[in-house]
Chains A and B, each alone.
Chain A
Amino acid sequence: MKNNILKQFPLLQRKVNGQPLVYLDNASTTQKPLVVLQALQKFYTTSNANVHRGIHALSQEATEQYENVRAKVAKFINAKSEEIIFTKNATEALNCVAVSWGRKHIKKDDEIIVSALEHHANLVPWQELAKEKGAKLKVIPLTADYLLDLKVYKSLLSTKTKLVCVTAQSNVTGTLVPIKKIIALAHKFQAKVVVDAAQSAGHRPTNIKNIGCDFLAFSAHKMLGPTGVGVLYIKRTLMEEMVPYMYGGDMVETVGQEEATYHRGYMKFEAGTPNIADVIAFGSALDYLMDQDLEAVAVHDQELLAYAKKCFSKYPAVKIFSPTKIENCGGVLSFTVAGVHPHDIAAIFDQYGVAIRAGLHCAEPLVHRLGVSTTARLSFYLYNTKHDVDVAEKALKKVFEIFKIKN
């Protein structure tokens, strides 16, 4: 990783409970570099206006900057600008697929396949769609090594399969999913595939042309951008057969008193004033990430994960929920300590300034599959260092001390 990264993140300079902050909750949300914060301020102090509707100079500037980010997102994932829509987060993006594509294309007795690794955002919309249409939900189970069982997946696929919904990387086990393979297999049966890339988009390169998915969703705030911006990639050929999921201004062509007509392309999905400033600031986050080189970020995440696994697995009381081979993992490490509830682990880590997540991670069925009620989780990003893992290990030792755990 490039030097001096820490200095570019103002928030990481602060202390928590009297200790220098060690932020290891990046799977929830990431911190923002100064350039992103400056982009927000610059927009509001120099170009603030509504987009797509003004003749005046400010509106044209705002529109140009907003649309430039669409082009930047497209380049970032190797897609076309007209295949990118902005939402408020990945959850809204996935719901858009369920409503705009799913309601029209999923029929009674059709089958939707989801994986056991899914976050609620890529599970609950499909549960609801299946319930509404009388379709069936099938689940790709896990192997003992926390990988998706592709043998079972192959046996689930049939001409009844209309949609496969899969994450690119689990937010609990960190499992990297072979999405290219999963997509190719689904396409043999003409099923569409939606990929939840929320955990992967900011951590490793995404190449739409290479993986060939039909839909892909991610969130700006998990990749150095502001909250309130999500992205949905929709394959161009599918856009025509989708209906809007929200109605109002900006997405219409003409409006009569009784009925209206809508834009055909991506604009039909962006009703109302979008999150202009945050989208523009997200553009700065993308510039920052492209400058860092995502291949290097992926390697950095895996190095920290390997180090953390080495440090934490020394203790017999610690149980780690992570695939054996590092090449199968993103920078996420879920663990439990025998005799200590994860909530208490997180509270003790917090006393050392170490921010980690504890709980169900919005993936309740997955956590229960792991055979535990909740887990504690470390998740890494480009500004983390081995020193952060060392501080976390120090906090872990304090957990053992307080709860009198013998290792």
Chain B
Amino acid sequence: MDLYSETILDHYQHPRQAGEIANYTVRVIEHNPLCGDSIQLDLLIKNGAVNDLAFLGDGCAISQAAMSLLGQEIKGQKISALKKILPSKVYELLHVPISPGRVKCALLGFAALQNALKMMKKK
């Protein structure tokens, strides 16, 4: 099946940046009420950039692999650069065809990142 590529299975079964950060700058929890998927994303911001990040998740291979891939991508990046990330970036990282039924799965981590950015703005 095209959907379950080696990359996706690798990131699902061995998620990068799995865990929590005790002294996080911002923590967000994102749910998908339809399928019960969830992601907790911690960001540690230093000098206007992502110094470290970690996530805990429970969900399908697509939602968890997408977060893992996105996490790799944003580590070290400046906040200003994060704001420019679009959903198309996530699809590019996943590199498999995402059907309309899996869009919410694919973009759960992206939604968590968007909420984290909003929260930082308020701070």
Q: What residues make up the interface of A, taking CB atoms closer than 8 Å to B?
A: 339-344, 347-348, 351, 358-360, 367, 373-374, 398, 402-404
Contacts and interface: CB of A to CB of B under 8 A. Distances in A.
A402 B9 CA distance: 8
B3 A373 contact: no
Given A373-B58, A402-B9, A403-B9, A343 B3 contact: no
Contact of A344 (B36, B58, B61): B61
Nearest to B61: A344
6 contacts: A341-B60, A343-B35, A351-B1, A358-B35, A402-B1, A402-B4
B1 A341 contact: no
B36 A373 contact: yes
B9 A341 contact: no
B101 to A, nearest CB: 8
A351 B34 CA distance: 21
Given A343-B60, A343-B105, A348 B1 contact: yes
Interface in B1-36: 1, 3-4, 9, 13, 34-36
Complex A-B, nearest 9 residue pairs according to Cβ-Cβ distance, in ascending order: A343-B60, A341-B60, A374-B36, A402-B4, A373-B36, A344-B61, A344-B60, A343-B35, A359-B35
Q: Considering residues B9, B13, B35, which has the most beta carbons from chain A within 10 angstroms of its beta carbon?
A: B35
Interface in B29-56: 34-37
Q: Considering residues A342, A344, A359, A374, which has the most beta carbons from chain B within 10 angstroms of its beta carbon?
A: A344
Contacts of B59: 341, 343
Interface of B: 1, 3-4, 9, 13, 34-37, 58-62, 64, 102, 105
Contacts of A351: 1
A359 B36 contact: yes
A345 to B, nearest CB: 9
Q: Considering residues B3, B4, B9, B102, which has the most beta carbons from chain A within 10 angstroms of its beta carbon?
A: B4
B96 to A, nearest CB: 12
Contacts of A402: 1, 4, 9
A395 to B, nearest CB: 11
A104 to B, nearest CB: 33
A258 B122 CA distance: 53
B4 to A, nearest CB: 5
Given A341-B59, A343-B105, A373-B58, A359 B1 contact: no
B35 A344 contact: no
Given A341-B59, A343-B60, A374 B35 contact: yes
A23 B74 CA distance: 42
Contacts of A340: 61
A209 B114 CA distance: 58
